[in-house]
A and B are shown apart, each in its own frame.
Chain A
């Protein structure tokens, strides 16, 4: 037997080979463009290593008098994420009712609502923060608005999709009994989508905990700003302990929300 029996179709095999070649070429081209070179990283390894061991390690605690301030800044970050997500979720619920052709009383405008949300969402929270800081000045309130805008836009999309998945049938049956739009919302859409909405809300809290740290760094306050001020004053060892603190905070919140989501979707 000279000819091997192929396991997959010939065309498919050619396609896979093509993809592999394309991926390699793409890597080569992009590496050249970004001037990334694994060897510079290795040759500069010493500097990097000494920075890591001498400046960063071991993590040091900030001065005792500063500790309550650092902890309260963590609370500010958590509060920022929670409140921004909550306000955004409430607004997103009302807007998303008009973003689904199947639910909205004005189906023709559904596309406009979704398009608007998509536009807002595709601008990252960090960019919103910079835009708002330049126009309104820095502060936690402005960070709040920046987080609110992106999570609002994200939740509008997520809520619309949840509603289209879940409530099509019961909306139709409530239409048939002669229910008004507010009745349909309160008696069919809300009860059947609530668990889905809450799950997306908790996911958004998770995302916003991370985002609020970043937004804080550029002027939104909270633990991000504290961290940034230690980095700027070259106290890298203290910065490291704050980074660890942020990591612990994110992990704890992730665990809690993950468990809650699992409970809710049961």
Chain B
């Protein structure tokens, strides 16, 4: 099977001398649900943004759907970006516009000239956006301003916008880091079901190890810009965790862990 995404010895050096990625290589197949874990500053965000060239890389090649991303400019780059939907920690919606308008932004990559600039979307696109909002349980908010929604609802709009792109790949940059535990579960469930249903590969940057283990088909551990673990969630043992975070499992805050509850009890 042809991989959707392929990293070949990708490196990124920032002008301030930080080496965010050092010769990273991996492949992503259709339908995979991959969590990328690692401490802050390990290069997770850079890795995700290298895929759609929001951050240009310094060395190596990123192949998206068989085409090298870094070689593309202008129109070709836009076409490639259409193939990778993106979801952000801070939702990154245009808050002064309606929910529906925000969802339809997902179509901009396919539009040209005045139509795109003035947001003259086709009736089919609008219908599809409404259907998508229905599926995500937001149909009654279609004409609300995006700023009126709660965090979990905003992130669902973010998901709808990404799905509107009809992507092959979904990139999620810490999608649940700003959410309460209940909204976080809703979002992770939605990401999982929406991508499975549409056969979209999904890459999620996460800080929550238990979430990564529960949802992913594969986990990539990043430390100081290098891949130190790449395997199934079952294989993420204590030594792998220590390689990723540089400290043993006991020193980590682990949600849903029996030891953790005990610790809290002692503190209380």
Give me the interface of A with B, judged by CB distance under 8 Å.
169-170, 172-180, 182-183, 185-188, 191-192, 194-195
Residues from chain B with Cβ under 8 Å of A177 in the complex = 81-82, 85-86, 105-106, 108-109, 161-162, 165
Residue of A nearest to B92 (CB): A173
Asked if A176 contacts B94 (CB within 8 A), the reply is no
Give me the interface of B with A, judged by CB distance under 8 Å.
52, 54, 77-82, 84-86, 88, 90, 92-97, 101, 105-106, 108-111, 116-119, 158, 161-162, 165, 171
What are some 20 contacts across the A-B interface (CB < 8 A)?
A: A169-B88, A169-B90, A169-B92, A170-B95, A173-B88, A173-B93, A173-B161, A176-B81, A176-B171, A177-B109, A177-B165, A178-B78, A178-B79, A178-B80, A178-B81, A183-B117, A187-B97, A187-B105, A192-B95, A195-B96
Q: A175-B81, A187-B105 are in contact. List 18 more A-B contacts (CB 8 A).
A: A173-B88, A173-B161, A176-B54, A176-B85, A177-B106, A177-B109, A178-B79, A178-B108, A178-B110, A178-B165, A179-B109, A183-B116, A187-B116, A187-B117, A191-B94, A191-B97, A192-B94, A192-B96
**Shortest distance from the beta carbon of A91 to any chain B beta carbon, whole Å:** 19
Residues from chain A with Cβ under 8 Å of B117 in the complex = 182-183, 185-187
**Shortest distance from the beta carbon of A188 to any chain B beta carbon, whole Å:** 5
Asked if B119 contacts A187 (CB within 8 A), the reply is yes
Asked if A180 contacts B78 (CB within 8 A), the reply is yes
Asked if A180 contacts B116 (CB within 8 A), the reply is yes
Give the CA-CA distance A232 to B81 in the complex, in Å.
Answer: 68
Residues from chain A with Cβ under 8 Å of B93 in the complex = 170, 173
Residues from chain B with Cβ under 8 Å of A188 in the complex = 94, 105
Give the CA-CA distance A188 to B96 in the complex, in Å.
Answer: 9
Residues from chain A with Cβ under 8 Å of B80 in the complex = 178
Residues from chain A with Cβ under 8 Å of B94 in the complex = 170, 187-188, 191-192
Residue of A nearest to B52 (CB): A176
**Shortest distance from the beta carbon of A4 to any chain B beta carbon, whole Å:** 43
**Shortest distance from the beta carbon of B177 to any chain A beta carbon, whole Å:** 14
